[in-house]
Amino acid sequence: MATGTIAIAAALVLALTACATAIAQGITASHAMDAIARQPEAAGGIRGALVISLALMEALTIYGMLVAFMLVGKI
């Protein structure tokens, strides 16, 4: 595969995973805040689930970065 194509693929992987994760985390946090506003007594459980889900989303971004690094290693 051409060097330029691999570089573009690595850049696209990083850009898409970062953008998709940022959008997903924003939507998740927004819905969590809405849920806490509706039921303040459930804030602890909602916050715990929010932290776990944000960590899992961030892990997907790290996997995307790993794929990009593997692609860059082929250049």
Q: Where exactly are the structural domains of the chain?
A: 3-73
pLDDT value of position 60: 92
CATH number, domain 3-73, options 3.30.870.10, 1.10.510.10, 1.20.20.10, 3.40.1390.40: 1.20.20.10
C-alpha dihedral sign at 51, 54, 56, 62: negative
How many CA atoms does the CB half-sphere of 44 hold within 13 Å? 1
- Determine the pLDDT at residue 35: 96
pLDDT band per the 50, 70, 90 thresholds, residue 1: low
pTM of the predicted structure, to 2 decimals = 0.81
pLDDT at 63: 94
**pLDDT tens digit string along 7-52?**
999 999 999 999 999 999 999 999 999 999 999 999 999 999 999 9
